[in-house]
Structure 1
Amino acid sequence: MSNEELAYDFSPIIKVYKDGGVERLKGTDIVPPSTDPKTGVQSKDVVISQEPAISARLYIPKSTTATTTTSAPQTKLPLLIYFHGGGFCIGSSSSSTYHSYLNALVSEANVVAVSVDYRLAPEHPLPAAYDDSWAALKWVASHSDGNGSEDWLNRFADFQRVFFAGDSAGANITHNMAVKSGSVRLVGVKLIGIVLVHPYFWGTEPVGAELTTPADAREFMAAVWRFACPSTSGSDDPVLNPGKDPKLKQLGCVKVLVFVAEKDVLKDRGWHYSETLKRSGWNGDVEVIEAEGEGHVFHWINPTCDNAVAMEKKIVAFLN
């Protein structure tokens, strides 16, 4: 905590003081990896890189352990790579929210998951999170021949059935990693689809109902971006506004699932993304699902509500 004057106040996310102190207001509660008593999902933490510091939490479903004692060959499972949200400045792969979510999703979908822990702004401004996420993807891809450093990925992951997913800023990362995967190509990995939950996209020109969005709410969205990415050209930076990205049509997957929430200030960006993608020349299918009466990342606040359960079911079906 700091007694100095505030330099930035992005409550309820983060406060930064003029003396350099950083106070994260959410996403700081962390839990260790475990064998989840409810689902039987096992997790463990792995170091991807010491310098810069990049790690990930790996998850395998109960079905993988059921057959390990027999001589039967192991069935390979779809591989989900998850990028957490938090405005690029809060959250981690070990936060209780994400840990609970991935335990449930891995169990329901019967997939192997890698939850990426990237460096956070302001200590590590963007593009650090993008660079770390790409490094993590390359590390995951290094297991595609079955000879990587991590046994779980070698044994259980099907690298021909790979999915990326994320929420909010993590959905932004997911999209940008999929574009890069399409333009640079991850050797040994076949990206099938991506899931964007309440994606953090923005732009200078209002779209949809943003014309009636209060000015302070619009400024908040733009300001968080400038804070996380001080080197940015602004709200029309191609990584924040996909409509300005000439590489959009190179999106490296064949299907996209976008979730938006009726009361989320980012809602129209999700719809706009879908329309822009369809017009870009990208050859794939995109579906948008809107949750009525809900706000931004409502499924973290109330994970058992009907809309959250429906979202999980839809993601499970998408991954299979």
Structure 2
Amino acid sequence: MDPAAMEKELVHDFSPFFRIYKEGRVERLMGTEFIPTSVDPKTGVESKDVVVSPKIGLSVRLYAPKLHNRNQKLPLLVYFHGGAFCFMSPFCAIYHNYLNTLVHEANVVAVSVEYRRAPEHPLPAAYDDSWTALKWIASHVNGDGPEDWLNFLADLDNVYLGGESAGGNISHHMGLRYGKQKLEGLKLAGIILVHPYFGGNEPIGAEANDLEKIEFTEMLWRLACPETTGRDDPLFNPLADPNWASLENTRVLVCVAEKDFYRDRGWCYFEKLKESGWEGVVEIMESKGEDHTFHLMNPTSEKALDLLKQIASFINTRPKA
């Protein structure tokens, strides 16, 4: 076939998110812009980019709020963006603006991870990159790591993992890996799963009413993880993992949206974790009348602000000893 024709021949069309062409080119349609770091004029939050591993192209964007007490270290939020493992970036306007707002509201230091994306880098690349980022953060435990913001501003005994959609999936798996391996230098205080991107072979709840979305979700998942065993792969369906309750015994906040296709998966995760004998504490919040990642699309809406405040409260409410 003529190379010019191959260039134009679509293999997968996941518009409005991304397209894949026969010759292998990936055309991302959302979250492709690069927003420079700055001091945000609305919140006073400052940001900067740091390369973690030049070898694999792993970098992070750091955020620090306007400090009122320079002698007090702040909780650290490690944030994993969504996008079905295939699109979006910490550097795009949606995530940059959201992290500025979240860091200001919660008064935390944040590390937003730019993991490698599928299909060019299929899973487990995103998981491995995220774990590498956590190990890099842990290298600052003695205050002599490569990044001063983490050495002097972040409380590594008070670390939260969070993200929405695919980022929620990553947050779960980082909590699971931490529970199995630990990570000297970091003490995990909580995990925040917002509209987590989970699935399973058997439809649950309202999923059974949307077979087209089930098919679409499976196509996306197989594209991100070509070697998967399917929708009951423990990477996609945490409940299919017999050891899933080895998740670190910490606090977990699950956030779901009433109209979201993945709502019932979030509720099932919450209920099964609570019943599993797991020794942590799990909470759930549902945003009525809203859909998947609505808070990113309409961040100033009343429900988005409610979700923001709930996340901030979760981070800043330490359990009683």
1:120 aligns with 2:124: no
Which letter does structure 1 place at the counterpart of 2:204? Answer: V
Q: Would the aligned equivalents of 1:194 and 1:253 in 2 still touch at CA under 8 Å?
A: no
Separation of aligned partners in 1, 2:142 and 2:276:
34
Separation of aligned partners in 2, 1:67 and 1:33:
23
Separation of aligned partners in 2, 1:287 and 1:177:
19
Separation of aligned partners in 1, 2:246 and 2:135:
18
Moved over 3 A (4+): none
**Aligned counterpart for 1:22 among listed residues 15, 20, 26:** 26
> In the TM superposition, what whole-angstrom CA distance separates every residue of 1:142-198 from its partner, at most 9, and x where no partner exists?
111111110000001111111000010010001100000110101121101111111
Identity %: 57
Q: Mapping of 1:230-245 within 5 angstroms? A: 230-245=226-241
Q: Mapping of 1:1-320 within 5 angstroms? A: 3-63=7-67, 66-67=68-69, 74-212=71-209, 214-320=210-316
Separation of aligned partners in 2, 1:297 and 1:139:
29
| Alignment gaps of 5+ in structure 2 | 317-321
> In the TM superposition, what whole-angstrom CA distance separates every residue of 1:80-137 from its partner, at most 9, and x where no partner exists?
0000000101111111111111111111111110000000111111111001000000
Single out whichever of 241-250 and 190-199 deviates more from structure 2: 241-250
Separation of aligned partners in 1, 2:99 and 2:310:
15
Task: Count how many residue pairs are aligned between Structure 1 and Structure 2.
Answer: 312
Single out whichever of 279-288 and 224-233 deviates more from structure 2: 279-288
| Alignment gaps of 5+ in structure 1 | 69-73
Q: What is the deviation of 1:67?
A: 4.9
Q: Would the aligned equivalents of 2:178 and 2:247 in 1 still touch at CA under 8 Å?
A: yes
Separation of aligned partners in 1, 2:44 and 2:8:
47
Secondary structure of the corresponding residue to residue 210 of structure 1 = helix
Q: What is the deviation of 1:253?
A: 4.2
Q: TM-score, normalised by structure 1?
A: 0.95
Separation of aligned partners in 1, 2:255 and 2:95:
17
Separation of aligned partners in 2, 1:33 and 1:171:
24
Q: Would the aligned equivalents of 2:18 and 2:26 in 1 still touch at CA under 8 Å?
A: yes
Q: TM-score, normalised by structure 2?
A: 0.94
> In the TM superposition, what whole-angstrom CA distance separates every residue of 1:262-319 from its partner, at most 9, and x where no partner exists?
1111111100111121232211111111111111111111111111000000011011
Q: Would the aligned equivalents of 2:17 and 2:30 in 1 still touch at CA under 8 Å?
A: yes
Q: What is the deviation of 1:37?
A: 1.1
Q: Would the aligned equivalents of 2:249 and 2:278 in 1 still touch at CA under 8 Å?
A: no
